[in-house]
Amino acid sequence: MEENHSIDQVFPSHMPYLWSLAQRYGRATAWTDVSHPSLPNYLAIFAGSIFDNPQDCGPGAGCQYSGPTVFGQALAAGRTARAYEESMPSPCNTSFSGEYDVNHNPWAYFPSEASQCAHGDVPAGTASSGAFASDVRAGTLPDVGLLTPNLMHDGHDGTLAQADAFLLSWLPAVLAGPDWLAGRLAVVVVFDEGETIDTVPFVILAPGVRGAVLTTALDHYSLTRLIDQVAGVAPLRNAASRPSLASMLGLKL
């Protein structure tokens, strides 16, 4: 997940590494956010709804929601799910801390999945060590996963150059890892919301996808549906009415 930039602010020149991936694999030209500010867009992608369309707030009374999430769906179906949060001080942390923004950690907002979150929502570590790097090297990335950069690396507080550098530091290992080489991994990079316009960058790296350009009007609920298809579960909430990215891209799930 990246933050707070419209497609015209990013492509083609302000994140050259991400643009190179977009051209090589796949991208969307008419992908839009579904609300403002950040939190409802994260809820949309990972729970299929913006619920009461919250302003950014910490988990707790008046700012928590009924499950399931896509993580909970996957686990209930016997699949694996994990969220990796850069700079989060402890698993499923529900407070703001330094460069960790809980608004960018959607699993923390669902008390019915608190025990699952405590187990599966973990500090990411660094590009070379920690939970994410270990799972990449072991070929044990989850069926449903989220990697959230901190505020300096997601384009929120830092620059787009810093966001691009984060991807360049983390993704090559993923693309050299067992999950990718076995053809069982798809990677999506998407921005939560736009600033100048609501159309945001969406890039997908997946087996068999080469130079794909999606021009159909799509939004974050289309990603929810893809996540659910990967997990082998029913499309969650608003995702049920969205077109299938898997079908559009010819993905074999």
**Each residue of 42-96: pLDDT tens digit?**
999 999 999 999 999 999 999 999 999 999 999 999 999 999 999 999 999 999 9
Whether residue 201 is contained in a domain is answered as: yes
Whether 1 is covered by a domain: the verdict is no
Per the structure, the complete domain to which residue 12 belongs is given by 7-249
Residue 204 lies in a domain: yes
- Angle of helix 220-231 relative to helix 38-47, nearest 10 degrees? 30
The pLDDT of residue 70: 98
* Domain total in the chain: 1
Distance from chain centroid for Cα 58:
19
pLDDT (tens digit, 9 = 90+) per residue, 107-156?
Answer: 999 999 999 999 999 999 999 999 999 999 999 999 999 999 999 999 99
Report how far residue 67's alpha carbon sits from residue 74's, in angstroms, rounded to the nearest whole number. Answer: 12
* C-alpha pair distances (Å), 231 with each of 92, 150, 224, 235: 22, 26, 11, 10
In single-letter form, the type of residue at position 4 comes to N
In a domain, 224, yes or no: yes
CA distance linking residue 178 with residue 194, whole number of Å: 34
Q: Which of 97, 82, 178 is nearest to 130 (CA)?
A: 82
The pTM assigned to this predicted structure is 0.98
* CATH number for position 161: 3.40.720.10
In a domain, 2, yes or no: no
Res 28: pLDDT = 98
Q: Is residue 50 domain-resident?
A: yes
C-alpha span between 175 and 177 (Å, rounded): 6
